[in-house]
Amino acid sequence: AFTNAFARWTLEKAVWLFDYLKQNHPGVAEGYIQNLQMTPEELQRWQEVARRIDYAVDPETGLVEQFKGYFQRRDVDLQAMEPRTESVQVIFGIEGTNETQVLKQPDVLMLAYLLPELFDKKSLQVNYDYYTPRTDHTYGSSLGPSIQAIMACRVGKQEDAYEHFMRAARADLRDVRGNAGDGIHGASAGGVWQAVVFGFGGLQFHNGTWTVTPHLPHHWKRLVFRFTWRGKSYVIDLPNKGPFSSEEA
């Protein structure tokens, strides 16, 4: 689902961008036509391919199938396996794990994070509720907890978000996976920053502007971060006054 959705998005955006250039920067568009030997037929082909790319989503619930046949795989109650000190891949083996619905990282939730326009409030909640208990948060991918934290914020589960946030931070700070000696988890560290800014801080970009809808953990007193948007720097200072609403933000 993740790969197909992004392949479709890439083709659709390429067509949109080319049309934008033709209308607003015709010289640039002509340069691409010459250098890339683009034809109207090729652009039509891109649109046709994008339209035909499979993206399995239940029209009633909005539940996205991670990949074709995923729902037919054996379901596993990960909670019933606790406490454990090994990943599901170690316990079941790689092939054995592939026969189950257990995930190393929440790819559908990553899709919802990067392309939020594909999910409304209901479908986001449905996918969060389905994939969260089927993901090996403790011993799966180190990339997963930070994204899980962001999406937990977006469905109003701040306590769960903080648990995932600390799980990501401790990958190196506490060496909870026992492999920090091989080198830091660089992508996970970047995810920790994103969890703070895009999760707890609630920073989002859409329609040429940005908004902030905070979801601060109850024991945090304040959150301050900065970012640059279209050449202008901003400093966001969020004192924790309790629950926020999007209107207050």
pLDDT attached to residue 208: 86
CA proximity to 146, closest of 201, 106, 87 = 106
**How many C-beta atoms surround the C-beta of residue 202 within 10 A?**
22
Q: Which long-range contacts (CB under 8 A, 24 or more apart) does 178-181 make?
A: none
- Give the span between the Cα atoms of 103 and 106, in whole angstroms: 7
**Residue 121 CA to its chain's centroid (Å):** 15
Report the C-alpha gap between 160 and 164 in whole angstroms.
6
Assign 245 a pLDDT band (cuts: 50, 70, 90).
very low
Q: What are the pLDDT digits (tens) for 127-177?
A: 999 999 999 998 888 889 999 999 999 999 999 999 999 999 988 887 777
- Name the token pair of 170: 């401790």
Q: Which residues contact 117 (CB under 8 A, 6 or more apart)?
A: 206
pLDDT confidence tier of residue 203, bands split at 50, 70 and 90 = very high
Which whole-number Å values give the CA distances from 32 to 21, 24, 29, 44, in the listed order? 10, 14, 5, 16
Please tell me the pTM assigned to this model.
0.88
Average pLDDT of the chain is 91
Neighbouring-strand partners of residue 74: 100
ω into 40 cis (within 30 of 0): no
The fraction of the chain above a pLDDT of 90, given in percent, is 80
pLDDT bucket at 242, cuts 50 / 70 / 90: low
Residue 115 token pair: 């392309």
The two structure tokens encoding residue 20: 């934008």
